[in-house]
Homo-oligomer: A and B are copies of this chain.
Amino acid sequence: MKVGIDVGGTTVKIGYVEADVIKYDYEIKTKKETLFDDIFKNVLDFTQKKNIKIDFIGIGVPGNVKNNIINRLPNVGIYDFDIIKCARKYFKDVEIKSSNDANVAALGEAVYSKVSESCFMVTLGTGVGGGFVDNYKIVEGAHCNIGEIGHLFIDNIHNYKCNCGLCGCLETVSSATGIKRLAYEYKKDFEKTKIDFNNLSAKEVCDKAKLNDPLAVKVLDEVSLNLGKALATISLCTDPSVFFIGGGVAACGEYLFELIRKYYKKYALYSVKDTPILPAKLGNKAGIFGASYLGGLK
């Protein structure tokens, strides 16, 4: 059996996968000081208790990792950490691989959807991230930087300053944060809006757009224009068989997807205009599935 581990900022999801099915799964708290010891100790205990034979442990982490050496997990507070050195205290010879969580989710979606050629997955949350999978293998890039698509230069209307130091980045105008920012930006032009600014969230804007609130409609139109342009750009560099979009903002559903598809078709090169743009299907199981496949499909 394979173990797939999805490290998040507050919890770690651990799953045991066999024949494309999660047989067992549970969560532990993310504690910065003892994170990987906690993980491997828990897996060892559970494995022994259930008398499971495991032959692979895959780990998705929210940050930059290469060759099982973590460079930085900013949201967890771990830097320069050797995963294998820690793992070998608990598992002498089980194969272990790790990758960035957005890549791992993309791999999970690719395998689950049986997209053999390639897929590009976009995660729309507080920020915007991505992962690229080709022939069921993650393409990480020389600096593990593939998927930093939140920093594509897309917006030349507002040119908001991004956390990264650049201006006009995709995530300044298309993440959950970006949706709220644009709602505030255009608020003065739409006095009669029904958007509840006391409880402003991306979901609030999406819900009101579906009810035809003019401000919400304008915001989601601009968000989708930016995303459509970004996918058109990505398609020239990675040319996936399919785009998957996941994350909290994707929960807006077909209303958002139809708009993104419209603008993608407008800006994509003729040869890739028909690349499907689909909702990610695995939700919060993508990390466990994807991590379990880091060592290969068998």
Contacts and interface: CB of A to CB of B under 8 A. Distances in A.
Interface of A: 64, 117-118, 132, 134, 139-149, 151-153, 156, 164-166, 229, 232-241, 267, 269-272, 275
A166 B267 contact: yes
Contact of A153 (B117, B149, B232, B240): B232
A148 B271 contact: yes
Nearest to A120: B237
Nearest to A240: B142
B233 A145 contact: no
B134 A139 contact: yes
Given A148-B269, A269-B148, A153 B275 contact: no
B141 A240 contact: yes
B153 A156 contact: no
A272 B143 contact: yes
**Interface residues of chain A: helix, strand, loop or mixed (majority):** loop
A117 B142 contact: yes
Most chain B CB neighbours (cut-off 10 Å) among A141, A147, A151? A141
A143 to B, nearest CB: 5
Contacts of A272: 143, 145
Contacts of A141: 118, 238-240
Q: Closest 8 interchain pairs by CB?
A: A141-B239, A237-B237, A145-B239, A142-B241, A117-B142, A146-B239, A151-B269, A148-B236
B142 A139 contact: no
A152 B271 contact: no
B237 A146 contact: yes
Contacts of A132: 237
Nearest to A64: B271
A239 B134 CA distance: 15
Contacts of A237: 132, 146, 149, 233-234, 237-238
B142 A275 contact: yes
